[in-house]
Structure 1
Amino acid sequence: MTAPGTAGDTRTATAAEESAPNRLLLPALALGAFSIGTDSLIISGLLNRIAADLTVSAATAGQLISVFALVYAIGAPVLATVTGMLDRKRLLLLALTVFVAANLLGAVAPDYPVLMASRVLAAVGAGLYLPCAMAVTVGVTPQHRRGRALAVVAGGMSAATALGVPLGTLIGALGDWRLTLVLVAVLATVAVGVLAVAVPRVPAPPRVTVGQRLRAAAHPQVLIALLANVLACAGEFTVMVYVAPLAEEVTGTGAAGISAFLLVSGCAALAGSAVGGRAADRFGGRTAYNGAVAVLLAGLAATVPLALAAPGGSRLTWVLFALVLCVIGVASWALPPAQNHLISGLDIPEPTVALSLNGSSSYLGLAVGGALGGLAMEHGSVTALTLAATGVELLALLTVVLAVTLTGRGGSAAR
């Protein structure tokens, strides 16, 4: 999944080049990203609990993730434009405050509509925070240290996948799913407190209009890259949003087992980020991205026979399911660095503006995958779920093959 936010809408102040950021700043920014990353996917591990508590189906509960992702995908570029001239520190604190309020509202939600409203509000906070956090990181970090600094902040999202989501799922399963949202709010509140002290004044970046973003997205090479990413992420999340009911059906596991599977998937995601970056540097962004999509397709295709014929509850099934989640985790998190490498190397006007759209394309894929998976669960079965995911990922692979055919193989990004 593409890391949300880029440095594309930023301009570094001269003074920022001369000093390293406050030691508390990057960990605090990463903690905010960790809380948002945990919040955006934690529902997937709690679907059955939420569905039972609010008297809705698991498929309906899954739309909480889809709506969050859709609001982020559409709202982040618009919000970045509307708030472009605001002081970055105030914007960070405002964004996390909105996010905290949204999770507290979700924790006390009496019914599904209120919980859905809280997810919309949380997505607004996330859409404000993540791009701004990346911008601040660039603005306070010297040129020669920016790569490492951005990796620290983006690492909050990866760590959320590896630790926050399975831990939150376990806490919600052993106690109450509402407690998980409270803990997310507490983490974000701590980040607010530290950021209030640690963030210096960072000048607002040059304003990038919605028109500029649309023109960047409309460039043929960018458009096909973003379309491929939407499809690749949609295929992944068709399964991963509903990984809890899928795991229950295939392996016969309970809440603790689901948390264990999510932990395996999260650790694989951390490895995937490293693999994707190294592969992009060595083979080029296009080759690395296409390879990751092909591996992701293989992993999703492997869920089909597991859903069809695996003997639920056997040790072999557990091992095979864990291995498949590892493959999916590595491949899906290899996509973001490869995609960023690919787009940054294209011979296009304003490549940094095009890069800023990556996060939205990933979250749009999450929204599409969650909706498609919900339809499969509502009108079919977990087998239909795995077949739908595989079909969408096949479309993603065909799209990247088409991209190679149309754009050729010139340049490092196109290799």
Structure 2
Amino acid sequence: MNPSKDSGPTTTHGLAGPAHAGEAADGQAPAGVNRLMLLALAVGAFSIGTDSLIISGLLDRMAADLDVTSAAAGQLISVFALVYALSAPVLATLTSRIGRKQLLLAALALFVVSNLLGAVAPGYPLMMASRVLAALSAGLYLPCAMVIAVSTSPAPRRGRAIALVAGGMSAATALGVPLGTLIGAVGSWRVTLLLVAGLAAVAAALLVPLLPRVAPPAAVPLRRRIAVLAHPGVLAALVTNALACAGEFVLFIYIAPLTTGITGVGPAGVSAFLLVWGVAAMAGSVVGGRASDAYGGRRAYAGAVAVLSAGLCLMALLTALTPGTPWLATALYTVLLAVIGVASWALPPAQNHRIAHLDVPEPTVALSLNGSSSYLGLAAGGALGGLAMGGGSLTVLVLTASGVSLFALAAVATSSALLKGADA
């Protein structure tokens, strides 16, 4: 959910990034690049990226409409993330023999149906079912889109092709989520879901004539994925990443009630703060990539987690001692939100960098597992945030986020020896 990173094929935040893009076979590269096709793939990624996090900006309104608490509404994001994390590796294996064009179009069709279902859902159970379907379709679409981008581009331009498709996820964080929040606040969150479905349908309509037939890449059996997962360095990198993401998303999933509680803005005003987060995310992607090149992925990752922890601790202090002057509270909140956003989105390029430089037999499989670790962190963060919000205390919410982040920082420090090979 950021521009292309320099550190490997998994180029976005776990939400942001495909689960198995690194496993594409090179195949026969064509002579030119179909830019319209790549843009259509990016539009599909934009719609999925927006859909995966848009509920965070519409939390209170959805909770009221579905007659549930904000904590329960937040679990819609957690379930999406958990289903994505657990199903993506399994789906990659089960669909390994299906042509990429057929699989991608089927994934987009399922995504459209899931959002139409969510838009008309009369209650929480059907809404939850729509989130499960959306997660399954996202787990199919994102890696498939990357395989197609790589397979249909000449070797010298494959990095740019990946960056363009991944840019759809980046744009979703920077523009799609705040814009969707504004539309949902002014009109209805159901309209937002309808627009997301419509955008995916447009992408599918464009891709039907544009997509060439692409053979599936070589399948990676689950047992090989599990063997890579058991590598101490890979396991340490994935566990620490899940913890860091959990701390980040304890706060982000409940950003709407937090923003309203500190600044006093209404639902439409929340979109402005989501825009701050989106701009910070783009800056963080650049900072993380450059820091990884300059200092190595292990040091850059540890530094990003340290800044994230410090930002969350200061946010907890601000929440507990909200200044009586509204403009001062808003200014401090904006600055801290930007700092946390930069640190959060500096994590993915550093994470990819440290995994890519580990001494493992199949680094692309290790990279492919990283998306699942990020989504597991998102799911855990949503669950912990829901428990913290159960008492209705924003201070407890942010204290929980800072506590998880400090635990992640301690885990990064203690696992440093296992990741020594990740320094470039």
TM-score by length of 2: 0.94
Cα displacement (A) at 1:380 = 5.2
Cα RMSD of the aligned pairs, angstroms, is 1.2
Q: Give the equivalent residue in structure 2 for 1:329.
A: 341
1:4 and 1:312 map into 2 onto residues whose CA distance is: 41
State how far apart, in whole Å, the 1-side matches of 2:344 and 2:419 are. 24
**Paired residue secondary structure (2:235):** helix
Separation of aligned partners in 2, 1:266 and 1:167: 11
- Matched with 1:352 is 364
* 2:16 corresponds to 1:7: no
What is aligned with 1:165? 177
- Structure 1: 5+ residue runs without aligned partners? none
> Per-residue displacement from partner, 1:360-390 (whole Å, max 9, x unpaired)?
1111110000000000000351111101101
- 222, 230, 236: which one pairs with 1:218? 230
1:368 maps to 380
8 Å CA contact 1:404–1:414 kept in 2: the answer is: no
Kindly indicate whether the alpha-carbon contact (under 8 Å) linking 2:298 and 2:419 is maintained by their aligned counterparts in 1: no
CA distance in 2, matches of 1:86, 1:144: 27
Normalization by structure 1: what TM-score?
0.96
Task: Provide the rounded CA distance (Å) in 2 between the counterparts of 1:312 and 1:228.
Answer: 38
Q: Which residue in the other structure is 1:414 paired with?
A: 423
Q: Is the 8 A contact 1:268 1:330 kept in 2?
A: yes
> Which residue does 2:399 correspond to in 1?
387
Correspondence list, 1:74-93, <5 A: 74-93=86-105
CA distance, structure 2, for counterparts of residue 70 and residue 113 of structure 1? 17
Q: Which residue of 2 aligns with 1:257?
A: 269
Q: Is the 8 A contact 1:4 1:360 kept in 2?
A: no
Partner-residue secondary structure (3-state), 1:324: helix
Aligned equivalents of 2:322, 2:210: Cα separation in 1: 52
Q: CA deviation at 1:19?
A: 1.8
Contact (CA 8 Å) 1:72, 1:360: kept in 2 or not? Answer: yes
Structure 2 counterpart SS, 1:24: helix
CA distance in 2, matches of 1:291, 1:143: 34
- 3-state SS in 2 of match to 1:357: helix
Q: Are residue 401 (structure 1) and residue 410 (structure 2) matched?
A: no
What pairs up with 1:268-347 in 2 under 5 angstroms? 268-311=280-323, 314-347=326-359
On the 8 A contact 2:63/2:73 being kept in 1, the answer is yes
Aligned residue type for 2:390? E
Q: 3-state DSSP class of the match of 1:342? A: helix
User: How far is the alpha carbon of 1:21 from its aligned partner?
Assistant: 2.4
Residues 44 and 168 in structure 2, CA contact (< 8 A), matched pair in contact too: yes
Task: Map 1:68-79; keep pairs closer than 5 Å.
Answer: 68-79=80-91
d(CA) in 2 for partners of 1:173 and 1:313?
A: 26
Q: Does 2:207 correspond to 1:195?
A: yes
Between Structure 1 and Structure 2, how many residues are aligned?
410
**Shift in Å at residue 406 of structure 1?**
3.7
CA contact (8 A) 1:252 1:313 kept: no
Moved more, 108-117 or 284-293: 284-293
1:28 aligns with 40
**1:87 shift after superposition:** 0.3
Match of 1:33, as an amino acid?
A
Which stretches in structure 2 are left out of the alignment for 5+ residues? 1-12
Aligned counterparts of 1:217 and 1:21: Cα–Cα separation in 2: 35
User: How many Å apart are 1:405 and its aligned residue?
Assistant: 3.1
Equivalent pairs: percent with the same residue? 64
SS in 2 for 1:356: helix
8 Å contact kept, 2:354–2:419: no
Moved more, 18-27 or 235-244: 18-27
The CA distance in 1 between the partners of 2:374 and 2:418, in whole Å, is: 23
Q: Which moved more, 1:141-150 or 1:91-100?
A: 141-150
Matches within 5 A, 1:27-46: 27-46=39-58
Q: Which residue of structure 2 aligns with residue 185 of structure 1? A: 197
Contact 1:13/1:202 (<8 A) preserved: no
In the alignment, the residues of structure 1 paired with residue 300 and residue 310 of structure 2 have an alpha-carbon distance, to the nearest angstrom, of 15
